[in-house]
Chain A
Amino acid sequence: MKKKVLSVLLSVTMVAAMVIGCGNTATETKTDDAATTEEKTEAPAEEKTEDTEKTDAAATGDMSFEIVSKGFQHQYWQAVLKGAENKAKELGVKINFVGPNTESDIADQVQMLNSAINNSPAGIGLAALDTEACMDGITAAQSAGIPIVGFDSGVPGAPDGAIVATVATDNYAAGELAAENLYPAIKDIIASATAPVRVGVLSQDATSESVGNRGLGFIDKLASLVVADGKTATVEGNDKFVTDSKCEKTDGANVVIEVAVPAQVDASLSKTDCETLLNKADTIAIYGSNQHSGEAMVSANETLQKFGSGEGKVIGVAFDSGEVIKSAVANGTFLGAITQAPVAMGEALIQTLADAAAGKTVSDQDTGCQWYTAENMESEEIAQNLYD
């Protein structure tokens, strides 16, 4: 008898643990008080000014959309959510915005996609962690006639027609933008260097399309800028980046671009990668291609104190925002950083979904990115895309 009670207890605990542990971080629009309190005061004002669109909203009144994101670990996603919620309110549609616990939980995301399809929404927004894994779900949605709009990194490699449109930052272009803004700061050092110099690239992983493209865009652009000025460049480090980059590999190049990728997404491992780069005497600049890598740079700098500008300093360039990176840019630790436009992305996503559901033709959209520095980060154009 006692054993039976125990086993029941055990199963209950296990099930509970599963539900909580592997469960979704579902953030329904209505219940997310913490994130929306700030806008609540503004909301009525907005509604009044947008009278014209209200008629449009009435037509879409019963529509609901399922948004399957990559999770909420980074504030970036909160900004996307914010944009999406704004637009949803504006159009009067319902959205259910979900995402797995971490960006490694591919199976959880597949589960979420499947249950999204089961809710038979008017459309699905999807930022796939792994296209291959989501393939069954995508096919199922297609046959159910539910349009899928990709966002953020989208659904790369999906078959033609499966995804009606993708609303995303052009990550490759964003990486290029980072290189373009870094280059002027290191141009003279490279020109006057007697020995090869090193530029580090910190990438959170080598599998994600978005992070990968940000790295490749940076590498390719930087290499071409170096070559344009009559010097040579090469790539070393992580094999995938070395293979995928357009930069030609040469021995004894003037500029060595070294890519470090940790074995798993772990703040401590990335910090160590950055420290290792910072410890190399020939390193002149380091680029961190997302919030995780950018923050690891700040962690490493706590010990090494090498980022900054001027003699013997290493120039830091980051990606995305968040309190840690923003203050590193503001106090001059980093030269600057790239920010995407997550709010605009969220808005564009819902608009595109609504259009697709209404049967309009939709097309891909680059929601853009911006370079921000201590000087311009207060400006309204930039500030709206920076988040804590």
Chain B
Amino acid sequence: MENKEKKGNAFTNNPIVKAVGAQKIVVLLAVILLYVVFFVMSSSFRQYTTLVSLLDSSYYIGFMAIGVTFCLITGGVDLSIGTGMICYALMGAFCIVKLGMPVGVGMLICVVAGIIFGFFNGFLVAILNLPPFIATLCTMMITRGLGSIFTGGLSIAWPSSSTPQGWFRTIFKINTSGVLLPIGIVFLVLAVVIMSLVLNKTRPGRYIIAIGSNKEALRLSGVNVVKWQWLAYVISGFFTGLAAIAYAGVLSSSVAPGSGAGLELNAIGAAIIGGTSMNGGSGTVVGTLLGVLIMSLLNIGLPNIGLQANWQQIITGLVLILAISLDVFKNKKLARA
């Protein structure tokens, strides 16, 4: 069709829908719908503490997802975030528990390690021009092994909330006279707001979107594409470091070396559900947050309605297919326009 004017239906032409984006509205509705369904179906889901648990699992998936959104928007991907998160959490735990460093230092180590590996991924992708999938797959393996080596294969727990060193857990949950305040959500929302601004209102964000849209065109516009593509991976690494802190903060379990593979898919899935295109060039941080909520709702809600574990996975898979189909459908429409 050579007609250039895009027509939509009443829904997509609604000014509010246009301003917010149709996909985000759909995902928001899905979040609400899922919440209502679980709310009606399960009495245990109705409890306040379940909401707290829901947010618990949103923090680390959320931080990973915010970071990886930037890689996805450049048209790349970062598969190393799952094992990376565990690796950095292990490094932090080792330094605190075995080397006796203060918890603050351990947290800093998580973030610094994340940035270093983000830098490494960026080097592989932007400088060596390795395909992001392959490059970060390698880093995934490297971080997986490195975590084990760092602790001598031991699983180590971060200090528990009953110890003085456990203060860092109050970053995510404060217990005020028996009522738990999930204040971690404040930091997650803050991260979403800041990164939304970065993505939409600053030069780095503009360039990161443009790389995913048409890297060669951006290069021919005289922009340093290497630098900005690199940055996307550093952002991803940085947020994986934050995710490591969140992971340690909400789970009392000892961090197990070698684990974490598969967690990246939760985060990548969340970003895609939130409307980030696998082909790059489009995506929003707010959408990613909504996608994270969907993933968390499924993770927490399905067991609550008594669904067996394997069914939970199947349903999560189906939801992802739905989300990716939307992306593919959207691209097809774009290609035809």
- The interface of chain A, by Cβ under 8 A from chain B, is 6, 9-10, 13-14, 16-23, 25, 27, 32, 34-35, 71-75, 78, 99-102, 105, 237-239, 260-273, 275-276, 279-281, 291-292, 295-296, 298-305, 322-324, 327, 331
Residues of A within 8 A of B141 (CB): 17-18, 20-22
**Which residue of the partner chain, among A23, A261, A266, A295, contacts B254 with CB atoms under 8 Å?**
A295
Assess whether B130 is interfacial by the CB under 8 Å rule. yes
10 A-B contacts (beta carbon < 8 Å) = A10-B134, A21-B141, A25-B149, A72-B153, A73-B259, A74-B155, A263-B313, A265-B256, A272-B303, A295-B254
Tell whether, in the assembled complex, residue B257 and residue A20 are in contact, meaning their CB atoms are under 8 Å apart: no
Residues of A within 8 A of B157 (CB): 295, 322-324
**Which residue of the partner chain, among A239, A261, A302, contacts B161 with CB atoms under 8 Å?**
A302
Q: Given A35-B152, A302-B161, A263–B309 Cβ distance below 8 Å?
A: yes
Tell whether, in the assembled complex, residue B154 and residue A295 are in contact, meaning their CB atoms are under 8 Å apart: no
Kindly state the separation between the CA atoms of A314 and B139 in the bound complex, as whole angstroms: 43
Tell whether, in the assembled complex, residue B49 and residue A279 are in contact, meaning their CB atoms are under 8 Å apart: yes
Tell whether, in the assembled complex, residue A275 and residue B254 are in contact, meaning their CB atoms are under 8 Å apart: no
**Which residue of the partner chain, among A102, A263, A268, A303, contacts B310 with CB atoms under 8 Å?**
A263
Tell whether, in the assembled complex, residue B153 and residue A268 are in contact, meaning their CB atoms are under 8 Å apart: no
Kindly state the separation between the CA atoms of A101 and B90 in the bound complex, as whole angstroms: 14
Q: Given A268-B57, A272-B303, A23–B145 Cβ distance below 8 Å?
A: yes
**Which residue of the partner chain, among B139, B152, B160, contacts A327 with CB atoms under 8 Å?**
B160
Query: What residue of chain B has the Cβ atom nearest to residue A294's Cβ?
Result: B253
Residues of A within 8 A of B44 (CB): 276, 279-280
Instruction: Tell me the dominant secondary structure on chain B's binding face.
Output: helix
Kindly state the separation between the CA atoms of A291 and B161 in the bound complex, as whole angstroms: 18
Residues of B within 8 A of A262 (CB): 309
**Which residue of the partner chain, among B47, B137, B152, B256, contacts A267 with CB atoms under 8 Å?**
B256
Instruction: Classify chain B's interface size.
Output: 35 or more
Tell whether, in the assembled complex, residue A21 and residue B145 are in contact, meaning their CB atoms are under 8 Å apart: yes
Query: What residue of chain A has the Cβ atom nearest to residue B178's Cβ?
Result: A305
Residues of A within 8 A of B139 (CB): 17
Q: Given A17-B141, A263-B309, A279-B47, A303–B180 Cβ distance below 8 Å?
A: yes
Tell whether, in the assembled complex, residue B53 and residue A322 are in contact, meaning their CB atoms are under 8 Å apart: no
Tell whether, in the assembled complex, residue B252 and residue A72 are in contact, meaning their CB atoms are under 8 Å apart: no
Tell whether, in the assembled complex, residue A279 and residue B145 are in contact, meaning their CB atoms are under 8 Å apart: no
Kindly state the separation between the CA atoms of A322 and B254 in the bound complex, as whole angstroms: 9
Kindly state the separation between the CA atoms of A300 and B178 in the bound complex, as whole angstroms: 15
Residues of B within 8 A of A269 (CB): 299, 309
Tell whether, in the assembled complex, residue B253 and residue A295 are in contact, meaning their CB atoms are under 8 Å apart: yes
Tell whether, in the assembled complex, residue B53 and residue A275 are in contact, meaning their CB atoms are under 8 Å apart: yes
**Which residue of the partner chain, among B52, B154, B259, contacts A78 with CB atoms under 8 Å?**
B154
Residues of B within 8 A of A35 (CB): 152
**Which residue of the partner chain, among A13, A78, A239, A298, contacts B253 with CB atoms under 8 Å?**
A298
Residues of B within 8 A of A264 (CB): 262
Contact string against A for B residues 111-149, beta-carbon threshold 8 Å, 1 for contact and 0 otherwise = 000000000000010001110001001111110111011
Kindly state the separation between the CA atoms of A264 and B130 in the bound complex, as whole angstroms: 31
Q: Given A17-B142, A71-B153, A324-B157, A331–B254 Cβ distance below 8 Å?
A: no
Residues of B within 8 A of A23 (CB): 145
Give the shortest distance, in Å, between A111 (CB) and chain B (any CB).
Answer: 15
Residues of B within 8 A of A239 (CB): 308
**Which residue of the partner chain, among B98, B144, B253, B313, contacts A271 with CB atoms under 8 Å?**
B253
Tell whether, in the assembled complex, residue B303 and residue A260 are in contact, meaning their CB atoms are under 8 Å apart: yes
Q: Given A20-B141, A272-B57, A299–B262 Cβ distance below 8 Å?
A: no
> Which residues of chain B from 235 to 272 have a CB within 8 Å of any chain A CB?
250-259, 262-263
Give the shortest distance, in Å, between A282 (CB) and chain B (any CB).
Answer: 11
Query: What residue of chain B has the Cβ atom nearest to residue A271's Cβ?
Result: B251
